[in-house]
Amino acid sequence: MDAAWRSDRHREPAPCALDGLREPRWARCLLIATAVGFLGILLLAPLAVVFAGALSQGVRAYLAAISHPDTRAALRLTLLAAAFAVTLSSIFGVAAAWALGKFEFRGKSILTTVIDLPFAVSPVIAGLIFVLLFGLQGWAGPWLAAHDLEVIFAVPGIVLATLFITFPFVARELAQVMQAQGTGEEEAARLLGASGWQIFWRVTLPNVRWGLLYGIILCNARAMGEFGAVSVVSGHIRGLTNTLPLHVEILYNEYQFAAAFAVASLLTLLALVTLVLKALLERRTGKMEGW
Amino acid sequence: MRPNFSRLTVIPLLLAAALAGACSEQPGERTKSAEGVALLNVSYDPTRELYEEYNAAFAAHWQETTGQRVTVRMSHGGSGKQARAVIDGLAADIVTLALAYDIDAIHERANLLPASWQTRLPGNSCPYTSTIVFLVRAGNPHGVRDWGDLIKPGIQVITPNPKTSGGARWSYLAAWGWALARELGTAEALQNPSAAPGFAAAQQEARRFVSALYGHVPVLDSGARGATNTFVQNGIGDVLLAWENEALLVIEKLGAGKFEIVMPSISILAEPPVAVIDHNVDRKGTRKLAEEYLAYLFSARGQELVARHYFRPRSAELASVAARRFPPVTTFTVAAVFGGWTQAQAAHFDDGAVFDQIYATSKAAGGS
Amino acid sequence: MRRIKQYSILPGFGLTLGITLVYTSTLVLLPLAGLFAKSAELGWRDLWQHLAAPRALAAYGLSLGASFAAALIDAFFGLVVAWVLVRYRFFGRRLLDALVDLPFALPTAVSGIALTTLFSEHGWLGMWLAPLGVRVAFTRLGIVVALMFIGIPFVVRTLQPALLELPVALEEAAATLGAGRWQIFRRVILPTLWPSLLTGFAMAFARALGEYGSVVFIAGNMPMRTEIVPLLIMIELEQYDYAGATVLGATMLLLSFALLLAINRLQRWGGRRAGAAT
């Protein structure tokens, strides 16, 4: 299946012997125009708004905004939460993908759905459940307070919310790749006497490494951009529990529109870097897939 | 290539371990940073500029008197949202919110401070007051002079959602009070309206007026700042119902020629209270510092900063100076007209109360 | 008794499933169970009252309706975009391809602010639409636009591989038999794409249902009219009504779960059909 995509990927539509294999010229132009117009309005225009807003007060104001201590603190927190999310999601993702991709067992479809759940759960609900669990009025809250441990309205809460939101990405991506590759190579290695870890490091991981990286990139993008869930558990303490997306909102609410858009553009740039990485990856593997 | 890659995957693991180590120190940092003590002031939206300057002044004052360095951290947001965060465990030393109801909620739901909190500081624990005014576009093109003009055909009014914004609740009650006074004939009747003849009928009229008013509102933002942005930045609406301090700030920050303030004939006396959260300061050992932080708000220097940031100071000496900036306005209090915040909240803003009914009926009538 | 797992010589099932279950339980199942436990604190009567309140019903209707409309529009345009990206070569195709993922990577608050700025009466697009009497910002249309923005990558990215996989032989055979291009599309291509299209639609729909950050900026947030369920949850929370918030949250959660089950079924169905076709 994978190989088929690869060969198709750069296939030029062959010069047509049969009219029925190709749309008339006007139809092609119309379709391209529709696609370009639609994406232009829906995606490119908002992107342009962000950068126009960011530079509306000149480059110096832009640089001042993104080098402000509060912005830097927010950037640090965002990167920290993303690092946690990526690391833990990767470990979990590899384990889950191995179980889901290489074995058949009862309840697999339910488990798959549960793993996907955070993707569809409203971020607000994701934040709410952590407040219910760890808030002072929640179940674990009084115990945590008695032991002077802070979870929500502190860094651990933000990390937790980010973990929840990014939960499915690596697992889902990897499980698909592992499933597609089947178990043939691993079984062969097993018969040749390789141990479980040897099989994993020498056979499976090299086969799925691009899938893993792809999942990590998606996970990272989602982690850095999360707003709703983090907003509920953050407490919005300036310079302490503000992530970059929250900082954008704060600046916007302080009538510092140019600064808000400047920080937003910083996030957008991070997003664009992610997209470029992803495009490079796709070119390398000839793979087009997923979310 | 292959062994290389497997080695690469170890790096994130190490990174995570290092981060985990770095992070576990984080919580302690909040109370005892290396240089001195830290306070957390949890406040509502329009006080950002005030406390930014006040915190610097207070830190200087505290260092002068005790030699100790203090860092005051701020958290801003909608008043109700901030109160909820404190209830859920946000470790605020001090709350400075938009209305007493929200601090009452902190007492009722989490018992983090005594019920008598409002008597602990002068002036009902309100170091400053404000009122609700109209912000209109330059030249007042629609000739808005008073509350009654807001429901003229074609006028769009911007105000946030009273269920989530403290400022919006003040606006809502101000409109209600004006309509009540109009029906009762005099503003004096608002000293004790329930004793006035025809009170029940007047309440009905007030409700009709407020319903009509919200019929002119095209967007309900969740907070005061959101509403101001809608009005100023996105150019929506003809009139913004705003905190007086917020309206003056908009004119200072976003260009004098673009907007004008209209003072209605009657408005509400908005009293944003402050309080120390006993439970948190005792746990963190910051009580003295927190109490001084609030007391200093009532000092001459504090009141001066309050006035500079467009809040009406409590201090009598400053009142005459401030009078130039703050035109006199006939105001009434929540206590006199609505019997206090608990009652006002129950009658108007709780689920299924008047505000919800207004929207339920506008829908049933096939509203715009 | 049947075995839980089919026989395999590969090791590591216990370990990996163990890790998966532990991690899933602590991070997803336990917190979500908490959500249901909290809503169960309410009696049936209160539960019903919260669920069937006119305002909640209006919000459900709006959330479902707007998400459905947005997913439907996305499905149509997503098909066009995917088709163009896969089948044609033109200037800027790679850029367009990379751009599709933007909504996924862009923080929702940023997209919300940007879309509102764009479509408000004085925005670059809003000022052209206003004279035509089309108001986008602070109306239901605005909600649909924001949800379209959120959902488009899901449709395009599920359709692209399916389009690539499409066996040319089928089309050739149809063309040899004298079918026109439109006929081939309708009779041969579309039926093969159908599972992927439905999956993409369902994913965009599921994602749209829960969206909060971008919608609150553009929605107008009027009770009964432009108030979505996640916003209502936020409002309940700010009124200290935890039980009400959790009831709404739990209902949304059940809805999402059902949708995801459907999506997973669809994907397997699509997988089987693709297998049969080749």
Burial of C194 (0-12, 13-18, 19+ CB in 10 A): middle
- From the list C121, C138, C240, the residue facing B84 with the nearest CB is C240
- Subunits next to B (3 or more Cβ pairs <8 Å) are A, C
If pLDDT is split at 50, 70 and 90, which confidence band does A210 have? confident
A 29-58 near C (Cβ less than 8 A): 31-32, 34-36, 38-39, 41-47, 49-50, 53
- Mean per-residue pLDDT of chain B: 85
Q: Which of A252, A106, A231, A114 is nearest to A161 (CA)?
A: A231
CA-nearest residue of chain B to C227? B220
**Is the model's pLDDT at B151 over the cut of 90?**
yes
Confidence of residue B323 (pLDDT cuts 50, 70, 90): low
Separation of alpha carbons B322 and B312, rounded Å? 7
**Interface probe, candidates C2, C7, C15, C20, chain A, greatest A C-beta count within 10 A:** C20
Which of A80, A153, A252 faces B229 most closely, judged by CB atoms? Answer: A252
Using a CB-CB cut-off of 8 Å, the residues of chain C touching B219 are 138, 220-222
Q: What is the pLDDT of residue B61?
A: 95
pLDDT at B125 over 90: yes
What does the pLDDT look like over C128-167, one tens digit per residue? 888 888 888 888 999 999 999 999 998 998 898 888 888 8
Q: Which of A21, A50, A272 sits opposite C175 (nearest CB)?
A: A21
- Residue A198 distance to chain B (closest CA, Å): 11
Asked if C16's CB is within 8 angstroms of A39's CB, the reply is no
Give A208→chain C minimum CA distance, Å: 16
Closest by alpha carbon to B82, among B247, B223, B210? B223
Task: Residue C62: name the closest of C201, C225, C257, C244 by CA.
Answer: C225
Q: Which of A87, A219, A241 to mutate to test the interface with B (most CBs of B within 10 A)?
A: A87
Where does the pLDDT of residue B157 fall: very low under 50, low under 70, confident under 90, or very high at 90 and above?
A: very high
C231-261 pLDDT tens trace: 888 888 877 788 888 888 888 888 888 888 8
Among B179, B188, B186, which Cα is nearest to B207's? B179
What pLDDT sits at residue B42? Answer: 95
- % of chain A beyond a pLDDT of 70: 90
- The arithmetic mean of pLDDT across residues B347-354, rounded, is 89
What's the mean pLDDT in A113-118? Answer: 86
Query: Amino acid identity, residue A14?
Result: A
In three-state secondary structure terms, C154 is: helix
Amino acid sitting at position A278: K
Dihedral (CA of A17, A18, A19, A22) sign: negative
Answer yes or no: do C221 and B78 touch at CB < 8 A.
Answer: no
Give the pLDDT of residue A239. 84
Q: Please check whether residue A8 touches C, CB under 8 A.
A: yes
Chain-centre distance for alpha carbon B220: 16
pLDDT surpasses 50 at C51: yes
CA pair distance B231, B225, nearest whole angstrom: 10
The residues near B293 (Cβ < 8 Å, ≥ 6 apart) are B39, B41, B58, B72, B93, B94
The secondary structure of residue C29, as a DSSP letter, is I
Question: What are phi and psi for residue A251, nearest 5 degrees?
Answer: -60, -40
Say if residue A288's pLDDT is above 50: no
**Contact state of A45 with C125 under an 8 Å Cβ cutoff:** yes
Taking one residue from A and the other from C, the number of pairs with CB-CB distance under 8 angstroms is: 337
Which residues in B lie closer than 8 A to residue A146 (C-beta atoms)? none
Q: Is the predicted pLDDT of residue B25 greater than 60, yes or no?
A: no
Residues in chain A whose Cβ is within 8 Å of chain B: 80, 83-84, 86-88, 90-91, 131, 134-138, 141, 144-145, 148-150, 152-156, 159, 201-202, 205-206, 209, 235-240, 250, 252-255, 257
Stretch C178-199: mean pLDDT: 85
Please report the pLDDT score of residue A285 as a whole number: 65
CA distance B238 to B257: 16
Q: Which amino acid is at B249?
A: L
pLDDT of residue B317 exceeding 90: no
R_g of chain C, CA atoms, integer Å: 23
Q: Are B91 and A250 within 8 A, CB to CB?
A: no
Report ipTM (2 d.p.): 0.84
Whether C182 has a pLDDT exceeding 90, the answer reads: no
Count of all residues that appear for chain C in the document: 278
Check if the beta carbon of residue B337 is closer than 8 Å to that of residue B173: yes
Tell me the β-bridge partners of B136: B239, B260
Please check the confidence at residue A181 and state whether its pLDDT lies above 90: no
Q: pLDDT band at residue A214, thresholds of 50, 70 and 90? A: confident
Q: What is the mean pLDDT of residues A118-128?
A: 84
pLDDT band of residue B266 (cuts 50, 70, 90) is: very high
For residue A40 the two structure tokens come to 């232009």
Bridge-based pairing of strands B36-44 and B69-77 is parallel
Q: How far apart are CA B327 and CA A160, in angstroms?
A: 50
Residues C31, A114 contacting (CB under 8 angstroms): no
Asked if the model's pLDDT at residue C69 lies above 90, the reply is: yes
List phi, psi (to 5°) of A104.
-110, 125
Q: For A46, what's the count of Cα atoms within 13 Å in the CB-facing half-sphere? A: 28
Single-letter amino acid, residue C272: R
Q: Choose the closest CB to C235 out of B163, B233, B362.
A: B163
> Is C269's Cβ below 8 Å from some Cβ in A?
no
Ramachandran class of B132: left when φ > 0, alpha when ψ lies in -120 to 50, beta otherwise:
beta
pLDDT for res B24: 41
Does B222 contact chain A (CB < 8 Å)?
no
* Residues B171-227 pLDDT 10s: 999 999 999 999 988 878 888 888 888 889 999 999 999 999 999 998 888 788 888
Q: Which of A82-86, B20-24, C26-30, C121-125 has the lowest mean pLDDT?
A: B20-24
Nearest to C219 by CA among B216, B228, B219: B219
Q: Tell me the two tokens of residue C109.
A: 């608050």
pLDDT band at B87 (very low <50, low <70, confident <90, very high): very high
B339: region left, alpha or beta (phi > 0 left; psi from -120 to 50 alpha): left
Phi-psi region of C30 (alpha: psi -120 to 50; beta: other; left: phi over 0): alpha
DSSP-assigned beta bridge partners for residue B39? B72
Q: Does C54 touch chain B (CB under 8 A)?
A: yes
How many whole angstroms separate alpha carbon A216 and alpha carbon A87? 9
Whether A121 sits inside 8 A of C176 (CB atoms) is: no
Q: What is the amino acid identity at position C263?
A: I
Judge whether residue B14 has pLDDT over 60. Answer: no
CA-to-CA dists, residue B78 to A250, B254, C187, angstroms: 12, 22, 56
Closest CA to A115 of C271, C210, C20, C157: C20
pLDDT at residue B43, rounded to an integer? 94
- Structural domains of chain C, with CATH: 54-273 (1.10.3720.10)
Whole-number pLDDT of residue B322: 65
Q: Which member of B221, B233, B349 has the closest CB to residue C221?
A: B221
Could you count the other beta carbons within 10 Å of the beta carbon of residue B2?
Answer: 12
Nearest chain A residue (CA) to C15: A95
Minimal Cα–Cα distance from B187 to chain C, Å? 32
Tell whether the model's pLDDT for residue A176 goes beyond 90: no
What CA–CA distance (Å, rounded) separates A143 from A128? 19
Chain C partners of A95 at a C-beta cutoff of 8 Å? 15-16, 19-20, 23
A:75-104 residues touching chain C, CB 8 A cutoff = 88, 91-92, 94-96, 98-100, 102-104
Question: Which of C117, C220, C235 is nearest residue B164 as measured by Cβ atoms?
Answer: C235
Mean pLDDT, rounded, for B5-12:
43
B225 close to A (CB below 8 A): yes
Kindly state the DSSP code that residue C240 receives in the 8-state scheme.
T
Summary mean pLDDT of chain A: 83
- Quote the tokens at residue C133: 């009497």
Q: Which of A251-265, B306-320, C74-88, C262-276 has the lowest mean pLDDT?
A: C262-276
Report the DSSP beta bridge partners of residue B313: B128
Chains in contact with C, counting 3 or more C-beta pairs less than 8 Å apart as contact: A, B
pLDDT for the residue A271: 77
The closest alpha carbon to B297, from B69, B121, B172, belongs to B121
The residue in chain C having the minimum alpha-carbon distance to the alpha carbon of residue A110 is: C261
A149 neighbors C254 (Cβ within 8 angstroms): no
Q: Is the pLDDT of residue A230 over 80?
A: yes
B4 lies within 8 A of chain A by CB: no
* 3-state per-residue secondary structure call for chain B: CHHHHHHHHHHHHHHHHHHHHHHHCHHHHCCEECCEEEEEEEEEHHHHHHHHHHHHHHHHHHHHHHCCEEEEEEEEECHHHHHHHHHCCCCCCEEECCCHHHHHHHHHHHCCCCHHHHHCCHHHHCCEEECEEEEEECCCCCCCCCHHHHHCCCCCEECCCCCCCHHHHHHHHHHHHHHHHHHHCCCHHHHCHHHCCCHHHHHHHHHHHHHHHHCCCCCCCCCHHHHHHHHHCCCCCCEEEEEHHHHHHHHHHCCHHHEEEECCCEEECECCCEEECHHHHHHHCCHHHHHHHHHHHCCHHHHHHHHHCCCEECCHHHHHHHCCCCCCCEEECHHHHHCCHHHHHHHHHCCCCHHHHHHHHHHHCCCC
Query: Is the pLDDT score of A3 beyond 60?
Result: no
Condensed to tens digits (0 to 9), the pLDDT of residues A8-66 reads 334 444 444 445 567 788 888 999 999 999 999 999 999 999 999 899 888 998 999 88
Chain B residues close to C121, C-beta within 8 Å: 234-236
Amino acid letter, residue B12: P
Closest C-chain CA to B110: C240
Residues 295-354 on B with a CB inside 8 Å of A are none
Contact check, Cβ <8 Å, B360/C224: yes
Read off the DSSP letter of residue A140.
S
Contact yes or no for C225 and B163 at CB 8 A: no
- Give me the pLDDT at residue C274, please: 58
Interchain CB distance below 8 Å, A141 and B26: no
Listed in order, strand segments (DSSP E) in chain C are none
What percentage of chain B reaches a pLDDT higher than 70? 86
Q: How many CB pairs under 8 A join A and B?
A: 106
> Residue B90 and residue A153: Cβ atoms within 8 Å?
yes
